[in-house]
Chain A
Amino acid sequence: MDYAALSANLLLISFIAYLVGTFFFGGAVKVSKTEKTYKDSMWGKIGIVVTIIGFVTQLGYFITRWIAAGHAPVSNMFEFTTAFSMMLVGSFILIFFIYKTPSLGLFALPIAIVIIAYASMFPREITPLIPALKSYWLTVHVITAALGESILAISAVAGLIYLAKNVDVTKKSKELFWLEAVMFTLVLVIGFVVSSTAFSLSGYEADFNYVDKNGKASEMTYNMPPLFGMSEYEQVTTDTMKPWFEMPAIVNAKTLTTFVWSLATGIVLYLLLRLIFRRPIAALLQPFAKKANSQLMDEIGYRSVLIGFPVFTLGALIFAMIWAHEAWSRLWGWDPKEVWALITWLFYAAFLHLRLSQGWEGKKSAWLAVAGFVIIMFNLIAVNLIIAGLHSYA
């Protein structure tokens, strides 16, 4: 059997299932009139069934790809990010069965969808393991760390619902500005997906020779029109556009080009949305969050940090140290990824202390949960793509 092809199809099915699930959770929120019908709504029940089907197929993707590759599919950006989205949905299902609240699904599933779409923009072929990754600790460390991060992410989803419900969107405020900033960031990710997909469908390619930061001659292929050229670049494909600027050797001009294209597409998308609806995006979300119980969202936000924090500690710090000791001869080397895992950990430790003893509940706690998710995403995206380190496997 061709496991690799099967695996790709299963992922596609789960992606569609999450879209359908979102729709049903939306229905649950829309039709329910009382707290009771909201919790026991038929729409919500179908929503969770569809979500579970999606989760099971995504688990199928994970297992078949594991069989095909012969190693846990968590070894590059595509695989890790997809696994993260799977665990996010898994954590959502777990929390849903504790608290039975459709609003959480309405917000969690779209985030999982965006994350899968984001992951799919990276090379998807199955790569063999490089020597540093050849260890069963790859499976243990990465899966536990991703699981911890995904449970922590649920806290941000609950926080977002809390904020969407409780921030006053009718008048300008700092809170509204920042909530809108979070929404804008999400639109940027969609901008990245849209622009990458558009250029890849058109088959755009531009080859360059350049000199890297160690003075070595190298080659680079752009998949988007090159706005920025690598250091001392030389165009190989002549019918493509000439870069506007040449960058110094430490800047990866290709990454910068992708970023600027995504930013531009994101801004256009955002402006379009604003023009169509004539309201901040945060205001568009409010009706979807209105049915949620603030106290419950606060509770979920806190509870998921409580559940996720020990898992994260185990996976991202303790297992990480044990493996680092086997592979790199030291427990801890202040590599950027390690430092950012420590920062994430310290941040959630601060969150717990503020909540326990300073009484930071409600809005403050919701903001912290959202900020924690931003740090996790920073570690996943920026540290891999911008800050070079030992963990740059993407």
Chain B
Amino acid sequence: MSKFKCQCGHENPFGTVLCEKCGRPLTDEAQKSEMVDMRYEGSARRSQTYKKTIIDKIWNFFSSVKVGVSIIIAVLSTSSIGTIFPQKFYVPVSGNDPSEYLEYYERLYGTVGKLYYQLGFYDMYNSWWFKILIGMLGTSIIIASLDRVIPLYKSLKKQRTKRHPSFMKRQRIYGESDIADSDESLEKAQKALKDLHYKVKVEDGAILAEKNRFGRWGPYINHIGLIIFLLGVLMRGIPGFYVDETMWIREGETREIPGAPGYLLENIDFSVETYSKEESNAVFGEAIEKNGSIVKEFKSDVKLYKEKEGSLPGSADVEFLKEYPIIVNKPLKFDGYSIFQMDYKIGELKTMKFTLMNKKTEKSLGEFTIDLNEPAKDYDLGNGSSIELMEYYADYDGIVDGQPSSKSPIPNNPAFIFNMKTPDHPDGEKSFVAIRQTLEVEPNDYEAKFMSAETRDASGLTIRKDKTLYILLLGGIVFMIGVIQGSYWQHRRIWIQKGTGSEMLIAAHTNKNWYTLKKDLDKVKEVAALPTYTDKQDKDAVIDTTEGETN
């Protein structure tokens, strides 16, 4: 598109509002206004200039801050919906059965809960529409920044020291008056501004004092940070970048670590420690008395192994790497993986010991111990007696359709069908044995009597690997740099120039913190004779003085 020539001779890109060089208002609107819109320096932004093709329209849509803010408001208000009831991943429902989730929400929260489930709010942060909203937010950040930062950069680079009076007059802070010795004023003002750490440029009876221009780039840098962060989140979808697994491991067990092929973990011991009233100092006494026991530590002592190179998976040829106590806040870290202490189970049955006994004489023929996780089939008691374990139900749940059933493979409530072979009954007597319960088809002479049980604890661990961490961290750091740069440094400019005759003009602009800008101006005015300025937006300034006088 064609260029637009200003009276000062500078060729501005089409769509420019204020001449890049001298600041003359170029559009009708700007010429009529009393105070000119200084955002983006009145530069030509693509979104304000091209409005025809479909690409223009998409560009213009996403470059609008109004649209951006609307998207932000949409994200924040929909996000709040997800906090009304617990989200799917906090619901204690095992497995992935939708009907169980529905049942959970309906049971606890009634009809509203049912609706909450049916509308998908129970897992809304993973829903397609929420992801689209975040995607739109990202698009808006990119387009809106590009639309502004390039023209802003160009016009700040091209700005001239001497501005046209029409530009000066339309600034929020402006003053004009006759000054006796304007050259001396300029000289003194120049020095005073340098003392205030302004960069001062002088040209043909005009001063431009500028400070902290780099603060203007803060918003764009923080937007880059946000984009890096969002990209990091997107990358979690790439296989191998992100691992999130859980494992249950009992004391004494060695298991392959899910999600970390080649690594094995042995659980030596799990323990829970509580604050004892005596050991902790008197300070905590009251709290412990009031709340009962307070947990001090959950700890899984583990050993980490690695399969040796070239060995078959599952072989015992492993290399010991390290021993580590995993506690909350101190995960085990290796090769990019972290293993966290997340859950535990105390006192899971490990073995049960029985004795084979003659019911009448109460004489034992021997004892046998069953490993509840890997029960053996036969137990030889010597002297011609043996036990055959015919059936095993780890988590006995009653009789279903005439058959005993087990609801899980975890030995929460073990039950057995034994065939007891004794010299008296070489073919064996059958007996169903569960905790505190023995069933016999016909009265037996012998019984398998429960002696004792051993228990052990189990640790619930989470395995994570997140290769995107450093990308996310980078995004966070870039964001912080940008947001600090933009918030804690304000771009200030002060223009002072000679007008016609002995007249002097003064104008000032900052992107934020006008209070300090005015303080700077006042300091300069203390040493140099300059026109009195007014802040066109401070309507109370007049009232304050008059009220002060009349009170």
Contact = CB atoms under 8 A, between A and B. Distances in A.
B283 interface: yes
Interface in A27-61: 33-36
Contacts of B537: 295, 361
A340 to B, nearest CB: 7
A257 interface: no
B275 A313 contact: no
B108 A310 contact: no
A114 B69 CA distance: 33
A336 B83 contact: yes
A107 interface: no
B298 A131 contact: yes
B145 to A, nearest CB: 12
Interface stretch (B163-171, B386-394, B434-442, B540-548): B540-548
Contact of A131 (B295, B466, B551): B295
Most interface-central of A36, A125, A134, A135 (chain B CB within 10 A): A125
- The 10 tightest CB contacts between A and B, nearest first, are A34-B548, A131-B328, A329-B340, A336-B83, A127-B287, A357-B65, A295-B538, A346-B76, A125-B286, A135-B329
Interface in B500-551: 512-515, 535, 537-541, 544-545, 548-549, 551
B297 A329 contact: no
A128 B292 CA distance: 12
Contacts of B297: 131, 134
A276 interface: no
A134 B299 CA distance: 13
Nearest to B290: A125
Interface string B276-290: 000010011011101
Contacts of A358: 65-66, 69
A293 interface: yes
Contacts of A36: 548
B479 A313 contact: yes
A1 interface: no
Contacts of B331: 326, 329
B476 A318 contact: yes
A217 interface: no
B294 A127 contact: yes
Contacts of A329: 331, 338, 340, 342, 462, 464
Given A213-B108, A325-B469, A357-B65, A134 B328 contact: yes
A353 B72 contact: yes
Nearest to A342: B79
Contact of A309 (B90, B288, B476, B487): B487
Interface string A336-347: 100110110011
A11 to B, nearest CB: 16
Given A340-B80, A342-B76, 4 more contacts: A127-B291, A310-B484, A335-B90, A353-B65
A123 B290 CA distance: 10
A281 B274 CA distance: 51
A177 to B, nearest CB: 22
Nearest to B330: A326
B515 A299 contact: yes
Interface string B331-369: 100000010101000000000000000000000000000
A314 interface: yes
B76 A35 contact: no
Contact of A343 (B76, B287, B327): B76
Interface residues of B, number: 73
Contact of A346 (B66, B72, B480, B544): B72
Interface stretch (A183-191, A194-202, A300-308): A300-308
Interface residues of A, number: 68
B189 interface: no
A361 B512 CA distance: 12
A272 interface: no
B488 interface: yes
A154 B462 CA distance: 42
Given A336-B83, A349-B72, A383-B83, A293 B544 contact: yes
Contact of A295 (B66, B80, B479, B535): B535
Contacts of A314: 480
Given A334-B82, A339-B80, A387-B83, A313 B284 contact: no
Nearest to A302: B512
22 contacts: A33-B548, A35-B548, A123-B287, A126-B284, A127-B287, A127-B294, A128-B287, A128-B294, A137-B329, A248-B110, A294-B539, A295-B538, A295-B541, A299-B515, A325-B466, A327-B328, A330-B464, A335-B90, A346-B73, A356-B65, A358-B66, A387-B83
Contacts of A331: 466, 469, 472
Main secondary structure of the interface of B (DSSP, over half): helix
A306 B295 contact: no
B65 A333 contact: no
Contacts of A328: 340, 342
B61 interface: no
A275 interface: no
Contacts of B538: 293, 295
A343 B544 contact: no
A180 B75 CA distance: 29
Interface in B48-86: 65-66, 68-69, 72-73, 75-76, 79-80, 82-84, 86
Interface string A1-21: 000100000000000000000
Interface string A99-132: 1000000000000000000000001011110111
Interface string A80-113: 0000000000000000000100000000000000
Contacts of A294: 539-540
A334 B39 contact: no
Contact of A347 (B76, B82, B480): B76
Contacts of B284: 126-128
A321 B296 CA distance: 23
A303 B87 CA distance: 37
B89 interface: yes
A249 interface: yes
B125 interface: yes
Given A132-B329, A358-B69, A69 B487 contact: no
A309 B483 contact: yes
B109 interface: yes
Given A125-B290, A130-B294, A296-B515, A353 B68 contact: yes
Contacts of A309: 483, 487
Nearest to B89: A333
A299 B537 CA distance: 11
A126 B294 CA distance: 12
B509 to A, nearest CB: 14
Interface in A323-380: 325-331, 333-336, 339-340, 342-343, 346-347, 349-350, 353-354, 356-358, 361
Nearest to B545: A35
A334 B515 CA distance: 40
Contacts of A333: 89
A130 B291 CA distance: 12
A166 B288 CA distance: 52
A213 B488 CA distance: 49
A388 interface: yes
Given A330-B464, A334-B87, A383-B83, A306 B472 contact: no
B476 A343 contact: no
B275 to A, nearest CB: 5
Contact of B69 (A34, A214, A354, A383): A354
